[in-house]
Structure formats: C-alpha cells, structure tokens
Amino acid sequence: MCCIGVDHPTKPQQSQQTTMSLPSSPVTGAFTGIQWDPMQKLRLTQPEKLLLRSGEANPIDYTLNNAEESTAYVKVVLKVLAEASGASGPSSKVSHLKGMLPDDEALQILYTDPMGVVTHYAITKLYDIIVCLKEKKMGGDVSIGATFYNEDDGNLLDEWRPLLRVLHLGGSGDAFAQRGAAYCLAHILMAGCPSQRFATNRSLKINHASVMEPLQALISWITSQLQSSASSSLSLVTPTLTALMICPEARTMFANSGGIGYLSRHLRNGTKGSKTGSGATVQQLYELCFCLWTLTYECNSSAMIRTAFVRDHAVHALVDLVSSAPREKVVRVALSALRSLAQCNAEASPSPSSDSKKEVTGATFLSEMIGCGLIKYVDQMKERQWTDPDIVDDLNVLHKLLHENFKEMSTWDVYLAEVQSGSLEWGFLHTEKFFKENAKKFEGTNGDFSVVKRKSNPADVGATGLAWLLFSYGYILCYASNLISEGSDLLLLVPSLAGLVGGVVLPFLGAVPDGTIMLFSGLGDIEKAQETLSVGVGALAGSTIMLLTVPWALSVYRGRVDFDEDNNMEPNYKQPKLTKSSFSETGVALSTEVNQGAKMMMLTTLPYFLIQIPAFFLSGDRETVSAGEKNWAAAGFVLCISFFILYLYMQVKMSNDTIHKMRRIAVIKETLKKGAVSLRGALREEVMSLQKKESRRRASITSDTEKSPLTNGNGMDHNQPSAEISELLKGILGEAFRAYDIDGDSNLNKKEFHIFLSDFHESINKNTVDDVFADFDRDGSGTIDYDEFIAACYVLITKTSNDTGGPGRSAPKRTSSRATEQLSEKILLDDDEDEEEEEVPEDLTALSPEEQQRAIIRRAFSMLIIGTAIVLMFSDPMVEVLSEIAVRANIPPFYVSFILAPVAANASEVIASQYYASKKTRKTITVALTALEGAASMNNTFCLSIFMGLIYFRGLAWQFSAETLAIVLVQLVMYVYAQRN
C-alpha cells in the first residue's frame, strides 16, 4: 500500500498532518507478467519500452534521478495510460473487480483484459512517482513542478489529459483507477498554483494560468461525485479533496461550485443519530469536516463563502456532528471549524453595497450556533476529560463567545436563530406571551412571511414533515391543475372561443403544471440546478411514459368490446357490446385519428435525437459538455417551438371535427348537470349561430321561398331545427330524455317535461308549456316523442326570456377535467339523486343567456389565472421536496420525480381518458386515446423546449442518455401499436 503525507493548513501555533493512501490494485499480481512488445495497441516505440523496463528493474527514486529523466519517464507512463484507457471506455473485467485477486487469477485476467491491467499499472506507477517526488527522496531539484511542467514555457504537460479522461470513463465501477487518477492529478495541479510556489523549487518557472482550467475540471468532477449520497462516492473523492484543500485557489473554486453545500449535506447524512444517517465511516466524517474547516479560512476574505456557510447550513451540520460525540479527532476538527466561523469578520471583504441582505459575520454564525443548541453541548463537553489540548482551548473560546452573544440576544433573536438553523424545538421560550408580543414580526421586514416559509424548508424537517410537505404540495398542485382544466373547459361553453380553446388553450394550459416543474428544476445556483435538473427530466419522462402506458392500458381495458367473428374480427359496437372475458376475444378500434395522433407524436420526438446524438460523443465536466451541446440545444429549442406551433395549428384546424365536438358536448352536459348554467345559457348562443349559418346556406340555394306561418322566408321552419342543430341537441339531451322517461314508453308527458325544464333551471310558466305541447303533440295523446322533444327544446332555447317567463335558477358548481371530461354517472341526470342536490345560488342561471356567457368568460379566466399562479408558486418548493426525498432515500432524483410528479400533474388526464373509454363507442375510445397522444406531443414540444432553453441560456448539460432512450422507445412502441388496423 502506498502512502503520502499532506501538510494541513495550520492554525496559530498548531500543525497537523494526515496520511492519504491508495489501496493496491486488485490485479497487482499481474503487473510482473506484463509484456510490452505484444501490446500493439499502446503504440510504444522501442526507447519507450526500454524506459518502462528500466523503471521496473530499478527503484523509483533511481528512475527519477534528474528532472529530464523524470519527465521522460512520466510522459511514457501517461502515454500508456492514454492508450490503455482509450476512447472505448473502461475495461470490461478489471474495472468491476472489488477485492484483491490471487496472483494466478490476476495473471489470467492479464490475458483476457490486458488493457484493464495496464491501466491499473499506469495509475499505480504515477502514484508511486507522486509519492516519491512529494517526499523528495531523490534530492536535488527534481520535484513535481520540474517533472510535470515544461522547462521552456512553464506550461503543464499536455500528457496530463488521460488522467481526467479516466475520471469520466471510470463510471462503470473502476474505483481504483478513478481514485488514483484524481489524487495524482490533484498533486500535479497543486504544484502549479501560485500559493504553492514556496513548496516547489523557487527558481522553477511555472505558468500558473495553464493550471486553472484543469483544476476547475477536477473540482467539477469532485462536485459531481458529491452529488450522490452513496458512501462509495465519498471514498472516491474525499482523499483527493482533502489534499486539494491546502490550496487556497482550490478552496475558492470548490466553494464557487457549491462545495460547501455538498459537504454539509454529507455531514448531516453521515452523522450518527441524525434524521438521515447513511453510515459514513469515521474517516469519511473526519475528511468531510476537515475540508469544511479549511474552507473557514477563506471566510475573512470572501463574502460569498461566508454567505454559502449560512445558506447551506454548515453550522447545523457541524453542531450535529459535535452533539453525536464521534471519535475525538472528528470532534477536534469540528470544534476548530466552529471556532473559526465564530471569530470571522467582514472587514476585509464586505458584501457588495447593492446587496440588501444582512452582512454575514461571526455574530451571524454565533446566533446560528445558539439556535442549534451548541451552548448546551459545549457546557456538557467542558465536563469531559480530553487528551487533546486543542479541544479544550476551542471549547473555552466557544463557551465564552456563545454566552456573551446569548446575553445580547432578545427572545425573538433566539427564536429566529432556531428557525434559521432548522433546530426549532418546543421549550421555555415558546410561551403564549412570546407569540403575542412578536406576532407582527412573523410577517417579516418585507411582509413576505420569510420566517414562516423558512420553517417549511425540506432540508430542515424530519421524515414525517417531509412526507407532509410532499402530500401538501402534491395536493395543491393537483388542485391547481384541475382549476386550470376547469377554467379551460368553461371556455368551451363560449361558442365564439370554442375553436381557439380546444385547439390552443386546452393543450397549452394542460402542459403548464409539468412545464413549470421542469422550469424550476433548472433555475437557481448553477451547480445545484445541474443536480435538480434530473428532477425535471424525471417529471418529463414520468409524465410521458405514464400517460402512454397505464392510462392507455386502462382505456383499452375499459373500452374493449367483443370481436365480431362474422365481420373479419372487427370490434362490435352494437348491443350487447361486451359478453366475453378473454382478452384475445375483445379489443378496441383504432381510428384514423389515433393513427394520425401517433404519427404527430413520433414526429415531435426529433428534438430528442438532435440533443442526444451529440451528447453520446461528449464527455467531461458540466462546462465542457454544455459548451459542446449549446448550439445543438439552440437548434432543438427552435425545432421544439416550431413543432409546438405546428401542433397547435393542426388542433385549431381540427377544432370542428367529431372528436372536438364530443369534448365540447361532454363539457356542456356536465356543466348542465352541475347546475353551473341554464339550458339556454349553455346552448342559446351556439344554436343561434348554427341557425344563422343554416339560413345563409339556404339563402345561397334559393332566393324565393314561399312563406308560411312556420317559415321565415328563407325556408327555415321556426319549430324544426336544422340537421346540425338537431345532432347537437341530441348529443347533449339524449340521455336526459331517457332519464326523465320514467315509465319507459319513449315519450314524455307534460309533467315529465316540466320537471325536466325545472331541473335544467328554466323557469317557464305553465302557459308556455301548454303552448309547446299544443304545437308538438299532434295526436292529442298528452305526450311527445324523442324527435318532438328535441324540437320543443329547440323552440324554447331560441325564444327570448320574455317569451318563456324569465330565466331559471341553478347552482354553479365546477367541473373537473382538462381536455376530456370525467363524469361520475352513466347518464346526464339520475332521478335518484335529485333529492340530494344542493340548493342552487342565483349567480349565473338567474342571468340572461347573454349575461351568462359573459359571466362564464370572467369566471373561466379567473380560474385560469389563479390556477397558473398557484402552479408557479408551488412548483419550486415541490422540486426541492423531491430532491430532498432523493437525498434521504439515497437514490437519484430522477426516479423520485419519475414516480411522484406525474401523480400531481397528470391525474385529470387519467380520469378523463377512463370516463371516455368506459362509454365503449368507437368515437369515445378515439377521444380517450388521442387525448393521451396529444399530451405526449405537448411534452415533446412545449416541455422539451424548456430543457433546451435551460441548456442553451443557463449553460446546463444534457446528460440523460438512458432517460432519453426510455422516452423515445416507449413512444416508438406506442406508435407501432397505433398503426395497427
């Protein structure tokens, strides 16, 4: 096992040292069996092979005897690493080994995976070189700087790049190669940092600028690994990070990349007894705490770092660590970090004048420590016997500072500190008197109730609180989604807007909840946004895949009918529809509309290929990948918006087709049933519009029609609706006729007809009813049949309020669906439920039909505005909750949002599709399936354009290959399925 010593940054009158080690490679036993001549892939020259053999035969300090020979040997080893690791990725066998192999098995691996063994050999040799140069065993002017930097211009050797490649290609499990490459690269780059010039040969010329970009790339890789909560990721990066933290340049870069937040989160997760313990080892806790401690030395010189310590709850994490009483070495470095924070000041680096926030100083951290209960822990620890005098010194200083600060704090200050630290617990402070005296302060200085909002931070609550936040935000978003759906559906009652609503408003607003979650997942701090972006991608994938699988399957199941064996196994939509239970003998009809919807859905997947194909060939840190994807993302953004506009245009063109008409009829029927409008309020405007259309059509055919008492001069009968109007009224009132035909004789008597009018909130006087029956009851039987009923309703709808005795009464009650409708009953009105109807307030149906239309528009827009505002307000907290669940469950955020986000955002589509499918007609199954296809197309256009915009405008990286393939594959399968006859 190789070891290397690292000098820690020293406190006043204190020096520490720790030892970092790289475990031996699992195939160490095969190194002696490596033969360079047969390995043609390495493309080694004969002198290079001789140099490698010399390095094997002689001690490492002999091989590195002078700077020139040292550099030559290093270049050869780096070339071996470059050729062995290659662009093909990590090896298939060696990279997956977890334990040390016996020599005979290691030699066998050499023949099955020679490049994997050579990669480990090169990493081991580089590590030995770094150890030797660091400890300066060879003497003279040979150093890391002299070996890895050009003598002429002082630039870093170009051969360093394979080390970074190993980091990004080692994700298949080659932990040894990753850990060794990261550690070697860290020491190479540190030698070129300005702050380390006295630790290297002072006469050596080094171009420090050549180090900054590779150092940032290494830091980015470290932070990407820290995004995972797994302890295996910690073991990869903490040794390297601990070494890097002695370098101020690395500390600043790491803090700028969100590193303080990652360290704090891992400390909280790894602390024994914390809410989310994940079993971090004592050594890992020590290394994490050490890194935080070194970062505190930048607080005096950086307002940004001070702010990050507050924002990322580092004090809370450190106090949790101290309170859990781990090993003494961990307590020592945690107390040192807390003391450093308590004594920091902002004199050298005040916050910018434009920053209105309170200046972060040592007093800020002391208040947070008091809020976390550190006073109690310090008092308890002072009673213990400690072998390390530094712990005693830190405890004395903290005890004094904490008690002095506590005396100056008001009860509100203490409460506020507890809230901000996430350590609020019921105690002597929280009396009725306290809340009465400070009630006004809960509003906050800007009236934003920031204290109340702070108490709902997902990171600061326990498992129960997190579950409560999840269900609360989920319910609110589901409610807002339904509110948007209901508002959109109400607009369908306005004939002049129906085409625009059905074609544009419904598809667009239906995608708003999903799109908002996706938008907020990519906002905020750039490094955090890259992490939370997977929440948005999970919502996109979950929504698309869920809509095309579960609701689709349920729709087919609920809409299935028997196959007609006498008609080429076509679905039988005549009664009885379903008599067989076997799936092989039942099914649904896939219409031309379903085929076309699938084609549109598949066409809109093209932007996925536009961004994903380049992503396959890009690797590196976020900045590198984002830069390579930027232009492709811009093209994808334009393509998504183009497809979005095309889709809406097609929807508007089809707004008068059968499917859209059925959706409108469903909305009108449900609205009438709920009592939101009267019969004439719902239908008068549309009927009159169709009547005028029919009049113009007839006028174009003939200009001279014989007038009669029942015609208006253009051939139209006052008492007989046109075919189009008759079709509309039958679609809406057909089920009502059957419901009010109590005796089942396919006729309505005068009493039944009057009950029908009353229930539909038409207050029509008895004389008008008598007149209608006189007109339509031709045989004097006292009843009217179905066609006469439709004609009678037509006459009543087209009559003015004065003709009928005034408007009726109803109860406004909202419906609850998006583009398709959820109905709870099989018929429009069931007479068994009449007794249980709530009393109807006169807010809409008491108005004239024209006034009802205006009121509908006002109500619909208010619902749309409120629903959209709620979605915008609660999508961001929902993203935070989903991210926190992923952290605590130690699973990628993608999987959490994949499961949970669609439940809140897409429930209405599922319910609506099931309602339509259950009708078991060719038209209703078409409505159900095309609605699901349309939702997928909106995800492919509107929602995906959000991600393309985030990648282009924010510099985020699209690194979701598996997720993209899953989305496209599911849509491809459903496309093939939908093309079947």
**Distance between CA atoms of residues 466 and 52, nearest Å:** 58
* DSSP code of residue 156: B
pLDDT digits (tens, 9 = 90+) for 800-859: 544 444 444 333 333 333 333 333 333 333 333 333 333 333 455 555 656 766 777 788
Using a 10 angstrom Cβ sphere, with 0-12 exposed, 13-18 middle and 19 or more buried, the burial of residue 841 is middle
The pair of structure tokens assigned to 471 is 């269900």
Q: What are phi and psi of 783, to 5 degrees?
A: -135, 160
Nearest to 879 by CA among 545, 539, 542: 539
pLDDT digits (tens, 9 = 90+) for 89-101: 455 678 778 788 8
**Distance between CA atoms of residues 244 and 250, nearest Å:** 6
Using a 10 angstrom Cβ sphere, with 0-12 exposed, 13-18 middle and 19 or more buried, the burial of residue 299 is buried
Nearest to 878 by CA among 436, 350, 451, 520: 520
Q: Are 143 and 133 in contact (CB under 8 A)?
A: yes
**Distance between CA atoms of residues 147 and 139, nearest Å:** 13
List, as one string, the DSSP characters of 787-815: HHHHHHHHHHHHS-HHHHTS---------
Is a pLDDT exceeding 70 seen at residue 1? no
pLDDT for 806 equals: 45
Using a 10 angstrom Cβ sphere, with 0-12 exposed, 13-18 middle and 19 or more buried, the burial of residue 17 is exposed
pLDDT for 473 equals: 80
Mean pLDDT, residues 564-592: 75
SS (H, E, C) 466-480: HHHHHHHHHHHHHHH
CATH 1.25.10.10 domain residues, the chain: 258-455
Mean pLDDT, residues 436-459: 59
Q: What are phi and psi of 154, to 5 degrees?
A: 75, 10
> Model pTM?
0.56
pLDDT digits (tens, 9 = 90+) for 523-571: 877 777 887 888 888 888 888 898 888 888 888 888 888 887 666 667 7
Nearest to 737 by CA among 777, 784, 786: 786
When pLDDT is cut at 50, 70 and 90, the band that residue 779 belongs to is low
**Distance between CA atoms of residues 928 and 821, nearest Å:** 10
Using a 10 angstrom Cβ sphere, with 0-12 exposed, 13-18 middle and 19 or more buried, the burial of residue 319 is buried
Using a 10 angstrom Cβ sphere, with 0-12 exposed, 13-18 middle and 19 or more buried, the burial of residue 405 is buried
Our CA angle for 223, 228, 234, nearest 5°, is 70
Is a pLDDT exceeding 60 seen at residue 245? yes
Our CA angle for 76, 81, 87, nearest 5°, is 130
Q: Which residues pair with 711 in a beta bridge?
A: 717
**Distance between CA atoms of residues 49 and 47, nearest Å:** 5
Helical residues (DSSP H) of 383-462, grouped into ranges: 389-408, 411-421, 432-437, 450-454
Q: What is the mean pLDDT of the chain?
A: 75
Please report how the helices 259-270 and 849-889 are oriented relative to each other, as an axis angle in degrees rounded to 10. Answer: 70
CATH 1.10.238.10 domain residues, the chain: 660-851
Q: Which residues pair with 7 in a beta bridge?
A: 17
Give the CATH class of 258-455.
mainly alpha
Give the CATH class of 660-851.
mainly alpha
For residue 892, cis peptide bond before it (omega within 30 degrees of 0): no
The pair of structure tokens assigned to 637 is 């953004």
**Helix, strand, coil percent content, the chain, rounded in steps of 5:** 65, 5, 30
Q: Are 24 and 123 in contact (CB under 8 A)?
A: no
- Residues 595/597/600/604 CA torsion (nearest 10 deg): -130
